[in-house]
Amino acid sequence: MIVARILGWVLIVAAVVVAGVAFALWLSGHNFALVAGQLWYSMDPDSLRTLQSVLLGIHPFLWEGIVLPLLQRPVYQAVAIAFFVPFVLGLILVSIFRRRQRRRRFN
């Protein structure tokens, strides 16, 4: 139970980090109408290639089924998906596996 709660909090924190990075990109004047992969490649192509090789090494579906379709969307859509999916999953895990209060019995 505690592992699921911790995973839920990790997902919530990851979602907040995604929102913070997106806000920083927006403040720095990046174009959010671009394709997400194009923006990432223009900022740091080596990290994009590294992520691709790592995910393909783990399992090709991680790259081809999850990350690549996300990178082919406009930045604003990719950020929204990358924020809401982990945030909602985290909230679900935290609420399902929340600590229950014990009932006191009086003898």
User: Is residue 106's pLDDT more than 80?
Assistant: no
pLDDT tier for residue 107 given thresholds of 50, 70 and 90: low
- Between the CA atoms of 52, 55, 60 and 61, what dihedral angle is there, to the nearest 10 degrees? -110
| Per-residue model confidence as pLDDT tens digits over 62-84 | 999 999 999 999 999 999 999 99
From 2-6, 60-64, 99-103, the region with the lowest mean pLDDT: 99-103
Query: What pTM was computed for the model?
Result: 0.78
Angstrom distance (rounded) from CA 51 to CA 30: 22
| Beta carbons of 89 and 10 less than 8 angstroms apart | no
